[in-house]
A and B are shown apart, each in its own frame.
Chain A
Amino acid sequence: MASLWEYANPVKFMRLSGWLMPLSAVLAAGLIVTGLIWGLFFTAEDYRMGSSVKIIFIHVPSALMAINAWAMMLIASLIWLIRRHHVSALAAKAAAPVGAAMTMIALMTGAIWGQPMWGTWWAWDPRLTSFLILFLFYLGYIALWSAIDDADTAADLTSVLCLVGSVFAILSRYAAIFWNQGLHQGASLSVAPGERMDLSYRMPLYLCMIGFGLLFLALVLAGTRTEIRARRARALLTRERARA
């Protein structure tokens, strides 16, 4: 069987992502559109929350991807630090803006949902606070990437930041819980018995979650492809200058 590490070779990665990226983009669009239409127009309204509850079809998947994007960056950073695969570092770089955007979407849809529910756009609730802090981590990570000229140096330093940041992000999460017990409801899709979401809600929500996952994949692949081409272009320029 072909090893996964083969795709650390940019040529193989470009070949793979060349068809995987458009495929996942189309699938993502299909799933999200289906999930949203199903969720928004063909589900009952919640007896307490009315139609405003339907924003979960965007809110929950984006929040999920906001965290998973950081987790993916952490894994990619570790791969770069341990195995020095350039594609891995570039994928981490490409994931950061997508993760930041997902965090922003989760925060904004949360605010729009919170206004009719809690009567406020923003509350210093542990979950909201954690997401805001996560957003700041994304900003710092992106800023560090863009501040350093040398690509390998930038990859090394951002990887260390990602590792240390992950530890502190988890600490921040517990600090935020300690700090304020919060208004936010429990996880919408908790497996624990008790107040569970109706199946008619869960199905479109699953579609949207898979769709957002594929959307993330497509965007990261597109970003990584761009980064690889940019690296290639810069390498060619450097070579021309060195020969001149």
Chain B
Amino acid sequence: MIALLIRDLRLAFRAGGGFGLGLGFFLILAVLVPLGVGPDPATLGLIAPGILWVGALLACLLSLDRIFALDHEDGSLDLLATSPIPLEGVVAIKALAHWITTGLPLALAAPVLGILLNLAAPGFGVLIVSLALGTPALSMIGAFGAALTVGLKRGGLLMSLLVLPLYMPTLVFGAQAVTRAAQGLDAATPLLLLSGITAGSVALLPFAAAFALRINLR
């Protein structure tokens, strides 16, 4: 399992592996929003939590179809399915690799973009925490969507359609946590609910995703 994680990370960091694409997308979005909305600091501060969370979500979505599609094309997925590692473990590890290369950098970079968007000072801590807690759920739900559409031609667009409604609770609780913190309110409740979604997704979705993969391989 560790070997699979190391391989996926190594592939992501090598040339053409796609590491940094999500981060770049996130940065461009944070630059474009003030250009579209106008430079008023009060307005930007008001919408900053939502923009940052929507941006992180879209950046995650951008790289989802790489989770299984490349391994499916070159035959690795067949070989992994016949390997001693259970397919559920393969799904979980690949989602983890996706999170390390996408969600974690987003969480770490978000405060810098928070400055660009004039996020209120009390929101910064919760911004990092909420993204760190919530993006694993985004990766895991995304892995499920990718598993559903892995064999399909042009599955990427369909996968977005399937995954976006599933992202709704994560987005709401994540963005609400930051909004509340930025207003000086207590953000514990949405953070706990967010952790609950992440824990539930990580515990259950590998099984659903592995089931979908087995069907797509046969």
Tell me if chains A and B make direct contact, with any CB pair below 8 A.
yes
Distance to closest chain A CB from B146 (angstroms): 12
Find residues 131-167 in chain A having any chain B CB closer than 8 Å to their own CB.
Answer: 133, 136-137, 139-140, 143-144, 147-148, 153, 156-157, 160-161, 163-165
Which of B161, B190, B208 meets A143, CB within 8 Å? Answer: B161
Interface of A is mostly: helix
A178 adjacent to B190 (CB under 8 Å): yes
Chain B, residues 156-196, CB within 8 Å of chain A (1/0): the string is 00100110111011001100100000000000001001000
B165 adjacent to A133 (CB under 8 Å): yes
B208 adjacent to A168 (CB under 8 Å): no
Q: Give the CA-CA distance A50 to B154 in the complex, in Å.
A: 51
Name B's A-contacting residues (CB within 8 A).
144, 148-149, 152, 155, 158, 161-162, 164-166, 168-169, 172-173, 176, 190, 193, 197, 205, 208, 211-212, 215-216, 218
Q: List 23 A-B pairs, Cβ < 8 Å.
A: A133-B168, A140-B161, A140-B165, A143-B158, A143-B162, A144-B158, A147-B152, A148-B152, A153-B215, A156-B211, A156-B215, A157-B148, A160-B212, A164-B166, A164-B205, A165-B166, A168-B165, A172-B165, A174-B169, A175-B168, A175-B169, A175-B173, A178-B193
8 cross-chain pairs, A with B, having the tightest CB-CB distances, nearest first:
A175-B169, A175-B172, A171-B169, A136-B165, A140-B162, A156-B215, A172-B168, A168-B166
Inside 8 A of B149's CB, which chain A residues have their CB?
144, 147
A147 adjacent to B158 (CB under 8 Å): yes
Chain A, residues 169-182, CB within 8 Å of chain B (1/0): the string is 10110111011000
Inside 8 A of B193's CB, which chain A residues have their CB?
175, 178
Q: Give the CA-CA distance A212 to B66 in the complex, in Å.
A: 44
Inside 8 A of A148's CB, which chain B residues have their CB?
152
Distance to closest chain A CB from B45 (angstroms): 19
With most chain A CB atoms within 10 A of its CB, the pick from B152, B165, B173, B216 is: B165
B205 adjacent to A179 (CB under 8 Å): no
- Beyond contacts A139-B161, A140-B165, A175-B168: 20 other A-B pairs, Cβ-Cβ < 8 A, are A133-B165, A144-B149, A147-B149, A147-B152, A147-B158, A153-B215, A153-B218, A156-B212, A157-B212, A157-B215, A161-B148, A164-B205, A168-B165, A168-B168, A168-B169, A172-B169, A175-B169, A178-B176, A178-B190, A178-B193
Give the contact-size bracket for chain A. Answer: 20 to 34
Inside 8 A of B190's CB, which chain A residues have their CB?
178
Q: Give the CA-CA distance A169 to B162 in the complex, in Å.
A: 12
Chain A, residues 109-147, CB within 8 Å of chain B (1/0): the string is 000000000000000000000000100110110011001
Smallest CB-CB separation from B166: which chain A residue? Answer: A168
